[in-house]
Amino acid sequence: MEHENGHRKILSFHGSGTVFPGYHEQDYKIESTLITVTLSDMEVLEFTKAEFRRMFQQNPQLSAQVIDWFSKDVNLLIYETAHQEYNNSFIKLCNLLYLLLVNETGKQNHLNCITQDAIADILGISRVNLTRGLARLRKENIIITKRKQIEVIDPSALEKYCSLETL
């Protein structure tokens, strides 16, 4: 999301089957003031609120998917607000790498197509602090970095730097 002052923060990732920004009956001003961008090419479908309401009411699987997404989103916001906010940038980095690693798409220990700018935006930290954290993880032989790729070569060592709420 991009703030009017130019700052960026990545709040969540969405892939195939994602319903974003979700469905609700209210009109929240904040939703019309933020810009949502993709990190990679995507194929998307757009519906009017009335069209989506009809699909939501007629399709229990879609309704369950929307509720599940809201649940994940609320838990992510709670995690960010009540926990990540108080961690230093190195722990934030380790937590993020761990969460991406255990996600379905990261099972091979490779985190592909993610730039350092994107990681800094996700974490809300400076590139300088991010670079220091990545250098430390490389020096300790926990990761190998290549262009737009991070390979976790020692997941158990990475876990030791993660906060308990992340594991």
Tell me the pLDDT tens digit for each residue of 5-34: 777 776 776 777 777 777 888 888 877 777
Q: Are residues 93 and 119 in the same domain?
A: yes
Among 82, 105, 134, identify where a domain stops.
82
The torsion region of residue 154 among left (phi > 0), alpha (psi -120 to 50) and beta comes to beta
What is the C-alpha separation between 145 and 1, in angstroms, rounded?
26
Q: Are residues 70 and 92 in the same domain?
A: no
Q: Are residues 1 and 45 in the same domain?
A: yes
Tell me the pLDDT tens digit for each residue of 28-55: 887 777 777 776 777 888 899 999 999 9
Number of H helices and E strands in the chain, helices first, is 7, 3
Summary mean pLDDT of the chain? 84
Share of the chain above pLDDT 90, in %: 33
Residue 158 pLDDT grade (very low, low, confident, very high; cuts 50, 70, 90)? very high
Q: Provide Rg for the chain, Cα atoms.
A: 18
Asked, for residue 116, whether it belongs to a domain, the answer is: yes
Q: Is the per-residue pLDDT at 104 higher than 60?
A: no
Among 22, 47, 82, identify where a domain stops.
82
Q: What is the CATH number of the domain that holds 130?
A: 1.10.10.10
Specify whether the CB–CB gap between 95 and 162 falls below 8 A: yes
Does the pTM of the predicted model rise above 0.75? no
Q: Are residues 16 and 46 in the same domain?
A: yes
Q: Are residues 70 and 12 in the same domain?
A: yes
**To the nearest 5 percent, what fractions of the chain are helix, strand and coil?**
50, 10, 40
Asked, for residue 41, whether it belongs to a domain, the answer is: yes
Residue whose tokens read 């602090």: 129
Torsion sign (Cα): 45, 124, 129, 141: negative
Give the domain extent around 156.
88-161
